[in-house]
A and B are shown apart, each in its own frame.
Chain A
């Protein structure tokens, strides 16, 4: 018995592997993604190294007593890993985390909506997730800037910091209809989205009336604009109504080239009004064109 105890003690001193036991492996607790590093081993002979995590699994044959070298591509996905070095029935275990590298390399930028009316307050939202070059979310705060540029080149800027990898902003839509660009930037990485800013509701509607052929009155609006001076899009419905002798007739006309035009029966003394949506225009008391 004493001899066997001596042999076991000697084996323990020479080799870190003791049958049926686990001991620690000297991995750094935290590895920045894409870092080149190495892990020392002791003992002699061959062993198998497993590195296991939900993001990555590796297996390597290693020679005990030599360092295990890891290249930048070996462990580049952030996450918790368990390393197991096995030789025969013995194993050493370590646990470590791979964390994102600190430099932003990619932004996931979601801008909403992609189309909206001009001059709306806090109507455009932008959300940015910041990733490193391996696609790991960078959790350390990053300085972000957002810029919304309308079709005339007028800019709105907003600075924000990311928290736990995400930053966001709300901005007003611009005054000018057309294509706007919405850009997000972190360090020297930027992403741009296109937003269509469309005219708002008509601001005012002015119509004029003149006699037409065969007892008709011709009604025509001035160019219909929103409150920022943008032409309201063609196709917007304008309603002309004529009230006469207790009856009312209405004609709905789409805007064409910015104006709406129609004809109604000419009834001297009729009241003619114009509207689009909830916006009322002027009213005319038709005198027959006299």
Chain B
């Protein structure tokens, strides 16, 4: 299993099990998801659970690709609003400086914290580990493993859930 499809399968399996699980795919990160039974104030329907996780995990791939290729257009599919603006600014800064960064996520531990009464926003927290690689031209400047906590707020759009707020170091 490679790429986004493998992540989708992971998510589906986890949601069906409705429990906190750790699964490892050959190409994707380890993903652990806490049960969403007690998330409020709106219950998270099963289909929403899998959509949220699929789209959130895919947003990390989009982030990695946009930052490593310095292409902000690759953010459009998964980010919106403030998150998209900030990441777009970062891509522009990277381009100006002449660096590229890769964010290769290796593990996620996701807990959904809040689903708004009208279903218009969902907030999750993610204990994430990733490898960041910084290159200037073809030269490796640094590589580092980072373990941090991200807070993300996703909102529904016509096609999928998109990340509206993406704040690390929480």
Among B61-100, those with CB < 8 Å from A are 63, 67, 82, 86-87, 89-90, 93-94, 97, 99
Chain B's interface size range is: 35 or more
Check A145 for interface membership: any CB of B closer than 8 A: no
Check A168 for interface membership: any CB of B closer than 8 A: yes
How far is the CB of A135 from the nearest CB of chain B, in Å? 6
Cβ–Cβ contact A163 & B113, under 8 A: yes
Known: A97-B148, A129-B153. A168 touches B117 (CB 8 A): yes
Contacts of B86 in A (CB 8 A): 54-55, 77
Check A139 for interface membership: any CB of B closer than 8 A: yes
Cβ–Cβ contact B117 & A80, under 8 A: no
Tell which of A57, A86, A166 touches B90, judged by Cβ atoms closer than 8 Å.
A57
Check B41 for interface membership: any CB of A closer than 8 A: yes
- The secondary structure that dominates the A interface is strand
Cβ–Cβ contact A98 & B151, under 8 A: no
CB-based nearest B residue for A113: B118
Contacts of B97 in A (CB 8 A): 50, 57, 59
Cβ–Cβ contact B169 & A91, under 8 A: no
Among A58-81, those with CB < 8 Å from B are 58-59, 77-81
How far is the CB of B113 from the nearest CB of chain A, in Å? 5
Cα distance A99–B117 in the bound complex, in angstroms: 28
Cα distance A95–B170 in the bound complex, in angstroms: 14
Chain A's interface size range is: 35 or more
User: A-contacting residues of B (Cβ < 8 Å)?
Assistant: 41, 63, 67, 82, 86-87, 89-90, 93-94, 97, 99, 101, 103, 113-114, 116-118, 120-121, 123, 125, 132, 134, 141-142, 144, 146, 148, 151, 153, 165-170
User: B-contacting residues of A (Cβ < 8 Å)?
Assistant: 22, 50, 52-59, 77-82, 84, 86, 91, 93, 95, 97-100, 110, 112-113, 125, 127, 129, 135-137, 139, 163-166, 168, 170
Known: A79-B168, A127-B121. 8 other contacts (CB 8 A): A22-B142, A54-B63, A54-B166, A79-B169, A81-B169, A97-B168, A100-B167, A170-B41
